[in-house]
Each structure stands twice: as structure tokens, then as C-alpha cells.
Structure 1
């Protein structure tokens, strides 16, 4: 009986052990599956993750950590930070780990780490692993690479500093108005132009408090999405002389196209306006002086024209008088002196007297020659027969040819030729009669 009871008890014990073994195998399989899941998560995330034991030696690191540090899990396991990183970096990590153990809570650290691919900045969340007895047996860390974010922050900060520098030191006034019409930003230059302070400007409702209606209208138009301008007078808040200002209001759009506010650029153009007014006044005065001077010149020109006409008339009169005088002199010589000179030649046969008469005749001919350009009028003194012979001489006919044509004797023609020379004041001159007739009287004969 005891043997059977012992066997039954042993059999139940074996069954219990078999069941316990099956449960253990089931749990181990489940644990292995969970471990594979955990490893898959750790090795497929883009965040570096590591775990250190209580001595701050590495227990494991994931693949992203391996890629960044250029080290494998097998190479780093069992080593601390001083065996992997430079002493200053290792000292920083150790100080952080000790703080996590001391405070027994998750702490975030921002750290810059020199890596083979260059320095990178991480935001690392370090946390303690605590056992059932309350002791810290490990320290874990999850790193987020914020290098690009920090670079963007630095660039944004630099851009903001540049904008602030431009904003504060701009030679023109700058104002920002939100979509409700409230002024949110203003630089000192705008306050100076408006005769007030930045503190007094910021916060006011531009749609209600701006004293110039046209300027309020321009702001409303800009809030509707259009760039607008205002140019005109503005009275400073603190009083004093009015100023001329030019303001441009431009709408500000968000990335989705919505209007978020208005940017205004204001310039004090008082000095420019005064300069323009002075220039305009000077221009008008110059135009007036030019007009007056033009009138004076026109008057002088008219007087000069009248004087020129008078001089022309006088010159024409002088020419006429000269012509008349020349004709009178030639007429008197021919009618009143030459006839008596011919009589003297007949009555004074003495050789000396004839010589004197010849000199007188030569001088008279010289006087007549000075009026050679007037010989055309002397054709009127020629008889019809002489005019006929003069025409034939001009044509180049000889004395015999002329005598034959006119049925005259050569002696008669020669006599007429001598008379023609005499009447044309060519006597005793070595001047060809034909050439004189062709040159002086071609259009008449």
C-alpha cells in the first residue's frame, strides 16, 4: 500500500514537474519572442540607444549608435566612456550618468559629441533602471540628433539679429501692424519722425488712432492684400511744425496665403520737399527771366532788322546816287569836254600842244575806264549802223567780211569801228574790241 501511494505521489510530482517545465518552456519562448521584438525595434530606429550597467560600462548599443560611433556592439560591450571617447567627453558623460543615478529620474541633456563623421549635437534622455529592492542597476540613454535643428536655430538667430540690426538702425521708419490693425513693432526712427516714443506707438490701434484719414485708408487697403502709398503732411504728436512724409504699406502673407499683418516703411521727406519747392521756384524764376530776356532780344532783333532795312535802303540810294554821278561825269566828259578837245586838236597844230592834248585825252579816257562796268548804258550812244557793225564784230567777222555783208567800203567799216571804240571809251587802249563786246555786252547785242 505504501508503495502504491508513493508511486502515485511520485507520478503526480512528475506530472507537476512536466507541467512546470512546459510552462517554463512556454515562458522562455515568449521571452525570446519579446526579445526579438525589442531587438528589432532598437535596431530599426534612427535614434542612437545604449544601456550601461551600474559600473557605467556598456551592456548594449543599437545599430544606429554603431553607425554614428563607427564601433560594433561587441567592441563596446564591457567598456566605459573613457575607453571610447576623449577624456573631456567621457568626463561629461560620467557626470551626467552619476546625476541620473543620484536623482533616480529621467533627465535630458544637450551635448555635442565629436564623432568620426564630425561633431554632432544630441538631445539625450538618460534614465535609471531600478530593481525590486530600489537599487539602480543600469542607466539607459536615447539620443536625438538635433545638429540640423541647432544649425537652423543658429541661422535663424543670426537672421533675427541681422533683421533687428536693420530694423533698429534703418534710416527710415519701420512699423508692423497685425491683422487687427494694432501696432506690434516700431523702430526708433519712426518714433523720431512722428515726434513720440516707441513705447507710445506700440499697442495703439492704427485704424482708430492714426490722425490722418488717408493714412488709415492706406492701412485698410494693405490689410486687404494690396501695396499702398501715402504721401502728405503729418503733425507730430508732441507738437511742432508739420512734416512731409512718404509711407508705403505692404501686406504680409503667411505660408498658406493668409494675410497676417502689414509692414509700413515711413520716410521723412520734409527736406526733399523744401529742396523741390526751392528748385521749382528757381526754375520758375529762371523761366520768367528767360521769357523777359527773350522779349528784350525780340525787341532788339526788331530794331536791328529795322536798322538793317534802313541801311539797305541807304546803300541802295548811295548806289543809285553813285550810278547817277558816274553817268553824269561820263555824259559831261563826252558832251562838254570831248567836243572842245577835238576842236583844240584841229586848231593847235603845234607838236607840243598836240602832246598836251593827247595827255588830256588819255586822262579823260582813264577816268571813263574807271566806269567800265557802266559801258552797257553807252550802247544807247551808238547809232543803228554802229550797233549792226558792233554785233558783227562781236561775232568775229573781219572788216572786209563786214563790208561785204553790209555793202560798204572797208574804209567806212574801219571808221565805224574807231567810232565804236571811242564811244565805248576804248580809244588808245590795248583792248580787243571783240573781246570787250563779248565780255561786257553779250546779253544786249
Structure 2
């Protein structure tokens, strides 16, 4: 007996195959005519816009999107129809749920079998990318405006990977110069043969470390700093984040407080001549003692009582007092 011949599957039309292929494309794809009427949307486009293919076919953007957005869409549509050149444009689009998206639309034009101009558009939703970029820009702005100098450091060699504007301004270097430098170039405690190795060992042994040091400016002058250092692991690599605070004013205040402390307590003073005995047993004038133990400096004059005592009997003094 002869086996019955197998029936060959009916061949699909090229249009049917193309539609299947487009529905497998993850990016939203649409087609319009010169009157801006939708001729086709793939599944990704229908899902993204929130409107079914059947609902949108034959209608225009004005039936689905805000007027301001439609003006932008049509301006670019007409430009592509007129020039025949591809257009890539960043746009705003509000979907059926009222959610606003930032999109990049790539549009081009071709002629169909009947010679009609057909516009094909491919949408790329970059909303998340734009949000991330905005957040990154905000973080960068806050970083640049920080009162502290901020450094991102490669722990391997102490090289600066990034610095903020405060660091550049405080140290007197342009950013491009500072990014070619290392921690030992600006920090006195990290200088020397094993300076960075010893400092790095202390840093890596702790999650967070507060270090006192002195930074060296481009003009070779130095100033005291307090540096908070923390570690960050990104993609398997370790980075150091250092916040350096200029504590010059704090040091001045501490020194002033030490001078005040020196003058506190019982100070031996002569009841007659008012000289003060220092810690070595020598008697000094009050102004001499205070000038040696503080930043105070004295000018000399006469109070009213002493003026009367010294010059009260003088005729010229009596005349001035009238």
C-alpha cells in the first residue's frame, strides 16, 4: 500500500511573515501615512502606548496624545516626508495610563507597492536612563559644592581618580593636574618611601577612618586637615572615598583655648608692685607675663586717677580741665 502523501503546510504570505517578525522585535515599531494616520503598530508598540493595534489604526496622534507632543511628532514626520532623510529625535510621550516617557524616535520613509510614502518609526524608551542621568548630575552638583575637599582614590598607588572643585580650589591645582597626582603629593603624612604603604594599611584595616594630617598646596604652603576615609566595592574593585576638611580655624581656636587655660587658676602676684611670678620663680611685669603666655599685646596710657596724681598740681593741667 502506498502511504498517503503528506500535505505541505500552506505558505505564509511575505506580509504575514514580516508582521510575525516585527511582533518579535522588542522595540515599539509603527507606520504612518502622510496624513499622520497610523497604518501599523507591532505588539511592543501597542503594549508601550497602552492602546490596541485595532484602536489606533486609521487614527492620528491627536486622538491619543497631548497637543504639545503632537506638534513635535508631526513636525518631525513632515520633515522626514519632505527630505527623505532619516530623523532621530528625543521627545516626550504620555501613554494611555498618563505616564510620561522620554523617548528617542528614529524615523525614515519608504514607498510601498503602490508608490505611497510610508513613514516607519522605531521608539527607544530612555526614561530610566534620563532619570539616572539627572540623579547623577544632581549628585555631582552637590559634590562640587561641598565645603569639604573630596577625593576618590585608587588604593593600589594612591592615585586620584576623581576630585571635586573644592579640592582643586583649596590646593591650588587645576583638575587635570590633580588627576595626575597621588596622595603622597599633597599629604605630608603619606610622603616618604613607605608613607603611602603605611597609611594605606591603616585605611584598609578599617571600614571608616578619621585621620589628621597636613595638605600641601601648589605654592608649597601647608594647612591642617581632618580626613574621613571610607571604602567602596564596585564591580569587584576597591575604591577609597576621602573627605578632607580644612581645620585651620579650629586649630586657631584650640590654641586660643590653650592660652586661656594657661592663664586660669591661681597666679602669684605681688600685692605692692603687681608683678607676677612665673613658673621659674622670676617676677615679671603683668604685661610682660601676659604677652609671653597669650597673643595679647599692650599699649600704654594713663587712667584719670593716675593723671590727677601725676599732673594735678600743674597749671597747664588745671587749665585743660576747665
Fold-level match, TM-score > 0.5? yes
Matched, 1:206 2:182: yes
Post-superposition offset of 1:225: 6.5
Give the one of 248, 272, 275 matched to 1:270. 248
Aligned to 1:120: 101
SS of residue paired to 1:205: coil
Q: Mapping of 1:26-37 within 5 angstroms? A: 29-32=10-13, 34-37=14-17
- Runs of 4+ aligned residues of structure 1 deviating over 6 Å after TM superposition are none
Per-residue deviation, residues 79-100 of structure 1 (Å, max 9, x unmatched): 3444554544333323222222
Normalized per residue, the structure richer in helix is: 1
How does the TM-score come out when normalised to structure 1? Answer: 0.47
Aligned to 1:39: 19
Q: Mapping of 1:173-212 within 5 angstroms? A: 173-179=149-155, 180-187=157-164, 189-190=166-167, 194=171, 196-199=172-175, 202-207=178-183, 209-210=185-186, 212=188
- 8 Å CA contact 2:163, 2:179 repeated in 1: no
Q: Alpha carbons of 1:126 and 1:221: their partners in 2 closer, same or farther (altered >3 Å)?
A: same
Q: Alpha carbons of 1:41 and 1:248: their partners in 2 closer, same or farther (altered >3 Å)?
A: same
Total equivalences in the alignment: 254
Give the one of 205, 212, 219 matched to 1:231. 212
Post-superposition offset of 1:244: 3.1
SS of residue paired to 2:145: helix
Q: Alpha carbons of 1:136 and 1:187: their partners in 2 closer, same or farther (altered >3 Å)?
A: same
Q: Distance in 1 between matches of 2:60 and 2:70?
A: 8
- 8 Å CA contact 1:225, 1:259 repeated in 2: no
Q: Mapping of 1:210-359 within 5 angstroms? A: 210=186, 212-214=188-190, 216-217=195-196, 220-221=200-201, 224=204, 226=206, 227-233=208-214, 236-238=217-219, 243-254=223-234, 256-260=235-239, 262-286=240-264, 289=267
SS of residue paired to 1:30: coil
Q: Distance in 1 between matches of 2:168 and 2:201?
A: 23
Q: Distance in 1 between matches of 2:88 and 2:128?
A: 18
- 8 Å CA contact 1:127, 1:139 repeated in 2: yes
Q: Alpha carbons of 1:136 and 1:185: their partners in 2 closer, same or farther (altered >3 Å)?
A: same
- 8 Å CA contact 1:107, 1:125 repeated in 2: yes
- 8 Å CA contact 1:120, 1:147 repeated in 2: yes
Q: Alpha carbons of 1:257 and 1:219: their partners in 2 closer, same or farther (altered >3 Å)?
A: farther
- 8 Å CA contact 2:225, 2:248 repeated in 1: yes
SS of residue paired to 2:136: helix
Per-residue deviation, residues 294-331 of structure 1 (Å, max 9, x unmatched): xxxxxxxxxxxxxxxxxxxxxxxxxxxxxxxxxxxxxx
Gapped regions of structure 1 (runs ≥ 5): 1-25, 291-445
- 8 Å CA contact 2:23, 2:42 repeated in 1: yes
Q: Distance in 2 between matches of 1:132 and 1:36?
A: 16
SS of residue paired to 2:131: helix
How does the TM-score come out when normalised to structure 2? Answer: 0.61
Q: Distance in 2 between matches of 1:62 and 1:30?
A: 22
Aligned to 2:292: none
Aligned to 2:283: none
Q: Alpha carbons of 1:288 and 1:197: their partners in 2 closer, same or farther (altered >3 Å)?
A: farther
Normalized per residue, the structure richer in strand is: 2
- 8 Å CA contact 2:231, 2:241 repeated in 1: yes
Give the one of 129, 138, 141 matched to 2:110. 129
Post-superposition offset of 1:287: 5.3
Q: Alpha carbons of 1:114 and 1:202: their partners in 2 closer, same or farther (altered >3 Å)?
A: same
Per-residue deviation, residues 17-51 of structure 1 (Å, max 9, x unmatched): xxxxxxxxx9x94233x544443444455533222
Structure 1 vs Structure 2 CA RMSD? 3.8
Q: Alpha carbons of 1:178 and 1:104: their partners in 2 closer, same or farther (altered >3 Å)?
A: farther
Matched, 1:162 2:142: yes
Q: Distance in 2 between matches of 1:235 and 1:164?
A: 21
Q: Distance in 1 between matches of 2:244 and 2:66?
A: 56
Post-superposition offset of 1:58: 2.4
Q: Distance in 2 between matches of 1:109 and 1:192?
A: 39
Per-residue deviation, residues 182-214 of structure 1 (Å, max 9, x unmatched): 3344445445654x3445861342255346244
Q: Alpha carbons of 1:38 and 1:219: their partners in 2 closer, same or farther (altered >3 Å)?
A: farther
Aligned to 1:330: none
Q: Alpha carbons of 1:153 and 1:132: their partners in 2 closer, same or farther (altered >3 Å)?
A: same
Aligned to 2:126: 146
Q: Distance in 2 between matches of 1:284 and 1:73?
A: 87
